[in-house]
Amino acid sequence: MKLVFERGLEGQFQKIMPECDVPVYEGSDAFKREGKLNLPHLSENELSRHYTEIAKRVHGVNDGFYPLGSCTMKYNPKINEDMAALTGFTGIHPLQPTYSVQGCLEALKVTEEYLAEIAGMDAVTLQPAAGAHGEFTGLLLIKKYLESIGAAERKKIIVPDSAHGTNPASAVMCGFEIVNIPSGEDGCVDLEALKKAVGPDTAGLMLTNPNTVGVFDKNILQITEIVHEAGGLCYYDGANLNAVMGVVRPGDMGFDCIHINLHKTFSTPHGGGGPGSGPVGCKAFLAKYLPGIRVAELEEGLVAGTAEETMGNVKAFGGNFLVVIKAMTYIMTLGREGIPEASKNAVLNANYMMSRLKDLYTMAYDVTCMHEFVMTLDKLHKETGISALDIAKGLLDNGIHPPTMYFPLIVHEALMIEPTETESKESIDAAVEVFRNLYHMAYENPEALHEAPTKTPVRRLDEVRAARTPILKYDFNA
Ligand SMILES: *Cc1c(COP(=O)(O)O)cnc(C)c1O
């Protein structure tokens, strides 16, 4: 397929704009383009066809089952988009006087309140742009707090090996050191290892819960207690809050701070680069350090101020505002009954799918799972030569997006499956049939599976090269 820059005839649409009839402003040379503005010469019709062609080559939630573990590729109700497209939300400028954007400030305020209520926190900032960005922001809160009480020597963040990969990365970016602790056979944090790890240098613990093997840590109250007793703070990675929202609250489990992924749990489409949103919630004692604007209600109406000892901005203005509008719409449409129902369905769907596969596939942890479960294809691989990757490629030929592969790292030949709450029994049953057929194919006709995918626009790609040396810019001179 041709790239957009390779299509169209040069000079075709030069006169598309009317002649300029106002005096031309001669700006500073420093800001002038030096080379040619290489825009593609395409008509609207051609451009529309180009993007439609690209869209047809991609597998999205609207195409079929998309059980990409930890990513929560659920269906996003279209009403969220309708609300986010209202001109009252899209046609504003962040520097407008606050009296003229009262509705928008109220939207920020109520969304913060909803999320605080769901997470069991006292305050929320909507400014961070993604989950990892939320982690970074939350850890800065912890850092600021420790500095304020003269405990800046606490530099170590404890991260269990079942944590999401962004956890240690964010902590290092904040200047912390990582202490890794192992999980036990049951997929939960090893309490003895945790007790050994804490000490006077402990800044805190970051816990992904449910963790990356889909398990809710049964010792969670003991975990937060051990860390608090040692003088550390507890951070909850709530990216996958769809497993617990409306049922239990991280704030009630002893966590001081949390991030939530609106582009997972709170129904904003994702994949392909955003925009996302990773609000951070915290307990009252951390709130004075929150970044960004804090909406306050005064007599004259809502105003946008900042927190007392704010860390500054982690993103411009109110964050990715329209993502917030989608989350607000989602929470309002589900309401108090719908929020826990959604998480219960996420857990039910994952357990149903796991139970329908476990006579064939080996589960990494044979326990009741939360929103996702992890299979290990180690045995299948040894017996047939068919790897987790081969099964994933086979799924592509059957109209199913592969699960997350080779993650978490603590499980060999891992496939991490998250059906999500928006799949029906019918669609899960159909996916189960595909998984079962592929399993039998591994024994009966492994060569065919090594060939997969055969029905996709491209076959097996050099994934390492794509990740390590991506070409993100068109080279006009090549
Ligand atoms: C997705 C995810 C993250 C990171 O979120 P991004 O928006 O991709 O930065 C962190 N933790 C967990 C558990 C996740 O699932």
| pLDDT 10s digits, 428-443 | 999 999 999 999 999 9
Question: What whole-number distance in Å separates Cα of residue 124 and Cα of residue 280?
Answer: 5
**Which residue, by CA, sits nearest to atom 14 of ligand 1?**
239
Span from the CA of 53 to the centroid of ligand 1 (angstroms)? 30
State both tokens at 334: 């589900």
Ligand 1 atom closest to the Cα of residue 135 is 10
Q: What is residue 432's predicted lDDT score, i.e. its pLDDT?
A: 98
pLDDT of 372 > 90? The answer is yes
- Test site for ligand 1: of 72, 166, 420, most ligand atoms within 8 A of the Cβ: 166
The per-residue pLDDT for range 193-242, each reduced to its tens digit, is: 999 999 999 999 999 999 988 899 999 999 999 999 999 999 999 999 99
pLDDT, averaged across the chain: 94
Q: Where are the alpha helices (DSSP H) in 217-367?
A: 220-229, 284-287, 321-357
The per-residue pLDDT for range 87-133, each reduced to its tens digit, is: 999 999 999 999 999 999 999 999 999 999 999 999 999 999 999 99
User: Averaged over 361-389, what is the pLDDT?
Assistant: 96
Report the percentage of the chain scoring pLDDT > 70.
99
**Which residue, by CA, sits nearest to atom 5 of ligand 1?**
131
Span from the CA of 361 to the centroid of ligand 1 (angstroms)? 27
Span from the CA of 71 to the centroid of ligand 1 (angstroms)? 7
Instruction: Show the ligand 1 pocket: residues with CB < 6 angstroms.
Output: 70, 130-132, 164, 166, 208, 237, 239-240, 261, 276, 278
Span from the CA of 166 to the centroid of ligand 1 (angstroms)? 7
The per-residue pLDDT for range 18-38, each reduced to its tens digit, is: 888 999 888 899 988 888 888
Q: What is residue 366's predicted lDDT score, i.e. its pLDDT?
A: 87
Question: What whole-number distance in Å separates Cα of residue 347 and Cα of residue 421?
Answer: 8
Single pTM value for the model = 0.92
Span from the CA of 244 to the centroid of ligand 1 (angstroms)? 16
Question: What whole-number distance in Å separates Cα of residue 152 and Cα of residue 130?
Answer: 27
Q: What is residue 38's predicted lDDT score, i.e. its pLDDT?
A: 80
Q: Return the exposure string of 467-478: e unless at least 16 CB atoms fall within 10 Å of the residue's CB, then b.
A: eeeeeeeeeeee
Span from the CA of 408 to the centroid of ligand 1 (angstroms)? 13
**Which residue, by CA, sits nearest to atom 8 of ligand 1?**
131
Span from the CA of 285 to the centroid of ligand 1 (angstroms)? 25
Span from the CA of 261 to the centroid of ligand 1 (angstroms)? 7
pLDDT of 12 > 90? The answer is no
Beta bridge partners of 202: 156
**Which residue, by CA, sits nearest to atom 4 of ligand 1?**
131
| C-beta separation of 105 from 304 below 8 A | yes
Question: What whole-number distance in Å separates Cα of residue 138 and Cα of residue 131?
Answer: 10
pLDDT of 13 > 70? The answer is no
Report the percentage of the chain scoring pLDDT > 90.
83
Ligand 1 atom closest to the Cα of residue 264 is 1
User: 14: pLDDT confidence band, cut at 50, 70 and 90?
Assistant: low
Q: What is residue 35's predicted lDDT score, i.e. its pLDDT?
A: 85
pLDDT of 15 > 70? The answer is no
**Which residue, by CA, sits nearest to atom 15 of ligand 1?**
70
Of residues 311 and 44, more confidence is placed in 311
pLDDT of 68 > 80? The answer is yes
pLDDT of 364 > 90? The answer is yes
User: 16: pLDDT confidence band, cut at 50, 70 and 90?
Assistant: low
Question: What whole-number distance in Å separates Cα of residue 45 and Cα of residue 9?
Answer: 14
